[in-house]
Amino acid sequence: MSDVAGPTEAIRRTLRFSEDPRVARTREAIAAAVRELSLAGDEITVASIVRESGISRASFYSHYSGLDQLALALTRDAFLSIAEAWAADEHEPLDAMRAAQRRLVAYFSENRWFYRAVAAMPVSKDGYLAAVRMMAAVIEQAIAPYPEAAPVEATARYVAGAAYGLIDAWLTEEIELTDDQLVERLVSMLPPWFSGAK
């Protein structure tokens, strides 16, 4: 995963769940650096992230094994935030789902250069499946109350796999869609009992 040997995964897991404000500040600095570099269209590497964030390489590798693990962590945080906003949305189901998909597309659009850099790396099947599993876990919680979702795990994995595959193809420009077209495509792929589409 990483081309630099770093702390063990046990240390990274400990830092992930740490409530120490310094840990939170370091992770926020890394996320902000990714955003800034991506918005500027700059090359995104560990070196550019640590330079932009003002942290050391050792500090970066204390938190993440490499760009792929950072991408999973940032994506997980984005999915959870989007799911919380969707759950709190009091609009009609279809409008709420469109708003959630707009947030998802906006997140990836703002961080496009970062995810392109990660997509260009040799990624193992395990890395791809980890991303799909992560997205599916968020979707499972959202669809659990719907009887039509049974079996929930299979439905969530199907939706996550389709959405993740489409977003990846859009990020890497294998398919050309505007942000709005991508939102509509994502909504149209969802089961109508979940999206509210008729």
As assigned by CATH, the class of the 9-63 domain is mainly alpha
The domains of the chain are located at 9-63, 67-195
pLDDT of residue 2: 42
Name every residue whose Cβ is closer than 8 Å to that of residue 73 and which is 6 or more positions away in sequence: 16, 27, 64
Question: What six digits make up the tokens of 92?
Answer: 């009609």
67-195 maps to which CATH number? 1.10.357
pTM of the model: 0.82
Which runs of E-coded beta strand occur in 14-80?
none
Q: Which residue has the tokens 């969530």?
A: 156
Q: State pLDDT tens for residues 115-132.
A: 888 887 776 567 778 888
Phi, psi of 165 (to 5 degrees): -60, -40
Q: State pLDDT tens for residues 46-91.
A: 999 999 999 999 999 988 988 988 998 898 899 999 999 998 999 8
